[in-house]
């Protein structure tokens, strides 16, 4: 059935994995170059572990959130899981169980291949047997060729016809105590002591097809076959094979109690009520199988290689692996594509864990948590600043509107590039927040209803109701027209004049750069169409030169000789995050150009700090809420004077003469003045 040509025992050699691209914006929004087959291909000489750790933290937060929701909705049914119910309705408490395999228990391992996932029964077919290993010791961490308790089995065999026809191949693993048999027909078979697990070896993955070409010449690097498939389908499901798999028994002897196990132990531990034992936890470990190592199976693949590894596993490590599997289950439960994660993203995180120094990795995780906290604080203070803002003096309204335009381009770009729904939601929420600022910066008026009703009196008693269309204030005479106008605080001050002047100077630099970048992307980059070219060109331009749009605010600060109108708390949090990015730009391996790019925002923030230093505190200057220090002190003095006058009037109304300080002629303080004080 399965003929296997034995190779040398040991790890099979895997192809060199290309180092993932490390551009921060590319990793977040999925911007990548397209290969000949239309799939995403990442380029670069290093990876941005900093972005990967942040992305991992966000995913952990999402998983914890949904686990909390599940416990909240299912918490009322927890009693049925923790305790059984007897015939009379009483709760049944199960006694603690012991491990079926005591420490040092010797066992035998049987591994079979089959085209069916049903209970394996072809024990007499010798070709189906892939590996038989006897006299293994449970809890042994020192034996084996590497001295760590591991065993290996490598083999090659002709590609089965079932896999060529998009079928599946399964591995059946049996673990029995030494001398016992996994075959039910054998007299040494003991059903309660057989550990049996099955797993599909092949994997079905989507291959996406999109036609790209040079919009000027019409030439393309895509194959003719891929272009034909792109005309009839968006993606194709292909069969893939990975050459490595690890199986493990968890070395644990805890006296677990049935019905009282937390997740995911409740699914992994199998109890035997008759003998009051439980089977050792068995685990198929494919976490370190990178997506780039999967090989598509087609008619050109004549032979498959496979290496199976047995390795003992601690309970702590198993819990870490199991938590990752739970994330995949949540993804499937919530629709699969909602938390769809590309192989490139998964491989990048795994490579960061494999290749990074543990101390540096721990520091990165800690700093990433702080970075996330500062991002939330900057977001919160930005909302508070604009919510309570009354005056626009000193603020660049055009920069705010440009941020809305930039967020809109990013959102349209990720929608055009089939990004996951999670990224679309996060960017979409950011776009809504930027749009929320528009009414804070501009006056928005909507024309009246499209129909104007008039009552015309005739000779009848009841007037006739007619309606007319006011075409001067409508779009196409039907739709209401939205009118935008500047706010008074923006027009009356010199801010508008300086803002227009700053953007005038900025356009002299910005438009030539935009034109040059547009020509470059049109000549040298293949596109799917003119719409994709416009979005890709604008998106790439904004990522490269978008930091220039922060300079108009610097110009306004220079002209006003003031920085009191800026949201300094939000800017401080952003500066801290930028400083953290700069530190990791020196530590993490990445291209030199990207390392230089990390310091673009720093230049702007340093200028902000310099302006705050040279434009010292002036009581006559207004703060971010449109109020100066003199206004506050003047209001306090007026309030004190009002209280004194009110006290004098109250005393005068009672018939006593009173001094200006609220005291009567006899030296006593009036009751009303005491109350006011």
| Angstrom distance (rounded) from CA 305 to CA 152 | 13
Contact 428, 29 (CB under 8 A): no
* 672: confidence class by pLDDT, cuts 50, 70, 90: very low
DSSP 660: T
* 399 and 325 housed in the same domain: no
Q: Is the pLDDT assigned to residue 27 strictly greater than 50?
A: no
Contact 177, 122 (CB under 8 A): no
* 47: confidence class by pLDDT, cuts 50, 70, 90: very low
Query: What is the pLDDT, as a whole number, of residue 134?
Result: 93
Of 317, 344, 371, the last residue of a domain is 344
| Angstrom distance (rounded) from CA 442 to CA 122 | 77
Query: Does some domain include residue 225?
Result: no
| Angstrom distance (rounded) from CA 494 to CA 148 | 75
Query: Does some domain include residue 449?
Result: yes
Query: How many CA atoms are closer than 13 Å to the CA of 287, on its beta-carbon side?
Result: 20
* Average pLDDT of the residues in 426-434: 83
Query: Does some domain include residue 163?
Result: yes
Q: Is the pLDDT assigned to residue 142 strictly greater than 80?
A: yes
Query: What is the pLDDT, as a whole number, of residue 44?
Result: 37
* Average pLDDT of the residues in 444-453: 58
* 312 and 458 housed in the same domain: no
* 112 and 171 housed in the same domain: yes
Q: For residue 455, what are the β-bridge partners?
A: 465
* 163 and 273 housed in the same domain: yes
Of 113-117, 441-445, 614-618, the one with minimum mean pLDDT is 614-618
Query: What is the pLDDT, as a whole number, of residue 263?
Result: 78
pLDDT digits (tens, 9 = 90+) for 262-272: 878 888 899 98
Contact 394, 559 (CB under 8 A): no
Of 321, 344, 367, the last residue of a domain is 344
Helix H segments across 276-420? 315-333, 343-355, 358-387, 397-416
Query: What is the pLDDT, as a whole number, of residue 245?
Result: 95
> For the chain, what percent of residues have pLDDT higher than 90?
20
| Angstrom distance (rounded) from CA 293 to CA 242 | 6
Query: What is the pLDDT, as a whole number, of residue 107?
Result: 96
Query: How many CA atoms are closer than 13 Å to the CA of 152, on its beta-carbon side?
Result: 18
Contact 49, 25 (CB under 8 A): no
* Average pLDDT of the residues in 69-98: 57
* 197 and 290 housed in the same domain: yes
How many other C-beta atoms are found inside a 10 Å radius of the C-beta of residue 366? 11
Contact 287, 311 (CB under 8 A): no
Query: Does some domain include residue 252?
Result: yes
Question: Could you tell me whether strands 98-99 and 235-241 are parallel, antiparallel, or unpaired per DSSP bridges?
Answer: unpaired
Q: Please choose, from the candidates 405, 541, 552, the residue with its C-alpha nearest in 3D space to the C-alpha of residue 25.
A: 541
Of 91-105, 145-159, 377-391, 455-469, the one with minimum mean pLDDT is 455-469
Query: What is the pLDDT, as a whole number, of residue 280?
Result: 94
Of 344, 368, 402, the last residue of a domain is 344
Query: What is the pLDDT, as a whole number, of residue 43?
Result: 38
Of 167-171, 375-379, 619-623, the one with minimum mean pLDDT is 619-623
* 71: confidence class by pLDDT, cuts 50, 70, 90: low
* 418 and 280 housed in the same domain: no
Query: How many CA atoms are closer than 13 Å to the CA of 623, on its beta-carbon side?
Result: 13
Average pLDDT of the chain to the nearest whole number: 73
Q: How far is CA 171 from the centre of its chain?
A: 34
Q: Please choose, from the candidates 416, 34, 412, the residue with its C-alpha nearest in 3D space to the C-alpha of residue 212.
A: 34
Q: Is the pLDDT assigned to residue 250 strictly greater than 90?
A: yes
SS3 annotation, 578-602: HHHHHHHHHHCCCCHHHHHHCCHHH
* DSSP class per residue in 122-159: -TT-GGGEEEEEEEEETT--S-STTSSS-EEEEEEEEP
Q: How far is CA 319 from the centre of its chain?
A: 23
* 256 and 335 housed in the same domain: yes
* 531 and 650 housed in the same domain: no
- The two tokens of residue 302 are 């004549």
Of 578-582, 629-633, 667-671, the one with minimum mean pLDDT is 667-671
Q: Can you say whether residue 456 is alpha, beta or left, with left for phi > 0 and alpha for psi between -120 and 50 degrees?
A: beta
* DSSP class per residue in 478-535: TEEPEEEEE-HHHHHSSHHHHHHHHHHHHHHHHHHHHHHHHHHHHHHS-BS-HHHHHH
Q: Is the pLDDT assigned to residue 52 strictly greater than 60?
A: no
Question: Could you tell me whether strands 151-158 and 303-310 are parallel, antiparallel, or unpaired per DSSP bridges?
Answer: antiparallel
Contact 388, 567 (CB under 8 A): no
* 178 and 255 housed in the same domain: yes
Q: What angle do CA 220, 222, 228 make, to 5 degrees?
A: 110
Query: What is the pLDDT, as a whole number, of residue 194?
Result: 94
Q: Can you say whether residue 57 is alpha, beta or left, with left for phi > 0 and alpha for psi between -120 and 50 degrees?
A: alpha
* 306 and 404 housed in the same domain: no
In our burial notation (b when 16+ CB lie closer than 10 A, e otherwise), range 210-227 reads: bbbbebeeeeeebeeebb
Q: Please choose, from the candidates 36, 329, 332, 414, the residue with its C-alpha nearest in 3D space to the C-alpha of residue 207.
A: 36
* Average pLDDT of the residues in 361-365: 75
Q: How far is CA 143 from the centre of its chain?
A: 42
> For the chain, what percent of residues have pLDDT higher than 70?
64
* Average pLDDT of the residues in 445-463: 52
Contact 239, 163 (CB under 8 A): yes
Query: What is the pLDDT, as a whole number, of residue 387?
Result: 79
Is 0.75 topped by the overall pTM?
no
* Average pLDDT of the residues in 200-208: 88
Q: Is the pLDDT assigned to residue 33 strictly greater than 50?
A: no
**Higher pLDDT pick, 90 / 654:** 654
Query: Does some domain include residue 34?
Result: no
Query: Does some domain include residue 38?
Result: no
pLDDT digits (tens, 9 = 90+) for 555-565: 777 777 777 76
Contact 173, 249 (CB under 8 A): no
* 637 and 498 housed in the same domain: no
**Higher pLDDT pick, 569 / 165:** 165
How many other C-beta atoms are found inside a 10 Å radius of the C-beta of residue 280? 23
**Higher pLDDT pick, 15 / 131:** 131
Q: Is the pLDDT assigned to residue 637 strictly greater than 80?
A: no
* DSSP class per residue in 372-411: HHHHHHHHHHHHHHHHS----TT--HHHHHHHHHHHHHHH
Q: Please choose, from the candidates 27, 28, 50, the residue with its C-alpha nearest in 3D space to the C-alpha of residue 368.
A: 50
* 299: confidence class by pLDDT, cuts 50, 70, 90: confident
Q: Is the pLDDT assigned to residue 300 strictly greater than 70?
A: yes
In this structure, the chain runs to a length of 677
Query: Does some domain include residue 417?
Result: yes
pLDDT digits (tens, 9 = 90+) for 492-517: 667 778 778 878 888 888 888 888 88
| First-residue to last-residue Cα distance in the chain | 99
* Average pLDDT of the residues in 569-578: 72
| Angstrom distance (rounded) from CA 31 to CA 406 | 16
Alpha carbon distances (Å) from 438 to 120, 201, 381, 409, 429? 66, 54, 17, 17, 15
Query: What is the pLDDT, as a whole number, of residue 200?
Result: 94
* 304 and 175 housed in the same domain: yes
Query: Does some domain include residue 259?
Result: yes
Contact 40, 342 (CB under 8 A): yes
Provide the residue range defining the domain that includes 124.
Answer: 5-20+99-203+240-344
Total domains in the fold of the chain: 3
């Amino acid at each position: 059935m399965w003929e296997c040509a034995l190779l040398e025992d040991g790890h099979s050699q895997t192809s060199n994995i290309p180092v993932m691209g490390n551009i921060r914006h590319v990793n977040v929004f999925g911007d990548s170059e397209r290969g000949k087959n239309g799939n995403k291909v990442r380029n670069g000489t290093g990876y941005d572990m900093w972005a990967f750790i942040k992305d991992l933290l966000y995913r952990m937060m999402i998983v914890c959130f949904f686990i909390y929701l599940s416990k909240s909705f299912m918490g009322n049914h927890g009693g049925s899981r923790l305790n059984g119910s007897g015939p009379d309705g009483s709760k049944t408490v199960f006694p603690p169980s012991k491990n079926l395999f005591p420490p040092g228990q010797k066992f035998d391992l049987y591994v079979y291949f089959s085209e069916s996932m049903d209970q394996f029964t072809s024990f007499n077919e010798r070709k189906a047997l892939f590996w038989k290993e006897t006299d293994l010791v449970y809890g042994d961490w020192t034996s084996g060729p590497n001295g760590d308790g591991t065993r290996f089995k490598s083999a090659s065999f002709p590609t089965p016809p079932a896999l060529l026809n998009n079928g599946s191949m399964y591995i059946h693993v049996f673990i029995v105590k030494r001398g016992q048999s996994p075959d039910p027909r054998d007299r040494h078979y003991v059903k309660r002591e057989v550990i049996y697990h099955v797993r599909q070896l092949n994997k079905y993955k989507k291959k996406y097809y999109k036609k790209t070409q040079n919009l000027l010449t019409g030439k393309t690097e895509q194959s003719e076959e891929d272009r034909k498939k792109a005309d009839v389908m968006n993606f194709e499901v292909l069969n893939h094979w990975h050459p490595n798999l690890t199986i493990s028994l968890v070395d644990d002897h805890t006296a677990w109690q049935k019905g009282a196990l937390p997740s995911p132990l409740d699914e992994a531990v199998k109890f035997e009520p008759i003998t009051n034992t439980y089977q050792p936890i068995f685990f198929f470990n494919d976490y370190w199988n990178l997506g780039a190592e999967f090989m598509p199976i087609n008619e050109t693949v004549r032979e498959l290689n496979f290496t199976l590894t047995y390795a003992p596993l601690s309970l702590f490590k198993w819990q870490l692996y199991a938590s990752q599997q739970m994330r995949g289950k949540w993804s499937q439960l919530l629709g699969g594509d909602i938390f769809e994660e590309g192989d490139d993203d998964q491989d990048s995180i795994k490579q960061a864990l494999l290749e990074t120094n543990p101390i540096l990795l721990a520091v990165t995780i800690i700093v990433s948590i702080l970075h996330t906290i500062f991002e939330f604080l900057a977001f919160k203070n930005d909302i508070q600043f604009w919510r309570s803002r009354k005056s626009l003096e000193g603020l660049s309204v055009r920069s705010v509107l440009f941020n809305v335009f930039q967020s809109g381009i990013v959102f349209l770009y990720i929608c055009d590039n089939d990004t996951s729904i999670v990224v679309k939601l996060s960017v979409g929420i950011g776009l809504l927040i930027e749009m929320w600022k528009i009414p804070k910066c501009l006056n928005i008026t909507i024309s009246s209803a499209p129909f104007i009703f008039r009552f015309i009196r005739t000779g009848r008693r009841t007037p006739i109701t007619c309606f007319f269309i006011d075409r001067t204030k409508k779009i196409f005479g039907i739709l209401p027209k939205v009118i935008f106008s500047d706010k008074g605080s923006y027009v009356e001050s010199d801010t508008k004049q300086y803002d227009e002047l700053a953007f005038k100077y900025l356009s002299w630099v910005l438009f030539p750069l935009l034109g040059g970048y547009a020509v470059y992307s049109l000549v040298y980059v293949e596109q799917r169409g003119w719409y994709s070219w416009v979005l890709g060109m604008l998106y790439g331009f904004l990522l490269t030169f978008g930091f220039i749009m922060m300079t108009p605010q610097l110009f306004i600060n220079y002209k006003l000789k003031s920085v009191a109108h800026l949201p300094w708390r939000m800017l401080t949090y952003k500066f801290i995050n930028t400083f953290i990015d700069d530190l990791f730009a020196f530590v993490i391996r990445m291209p030199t150009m990207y390392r230089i790019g990390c310091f673009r925002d720093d230049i702007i923030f340093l200028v902000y700090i310099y302006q705050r230093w040279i434009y010292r505190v002036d009581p006559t200057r207004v703060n971010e809420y449109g109020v100066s220090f003199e206004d506050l002190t003047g209001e306090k003095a007026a309030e004190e004077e009002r209280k004194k006058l009110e006290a004098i009037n109250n005393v005068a109304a009672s018939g006593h003469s009173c001094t200006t300080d609220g005291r009567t002629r006899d030296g006593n303080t009036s009751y009303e003045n005491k109350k006011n004080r």
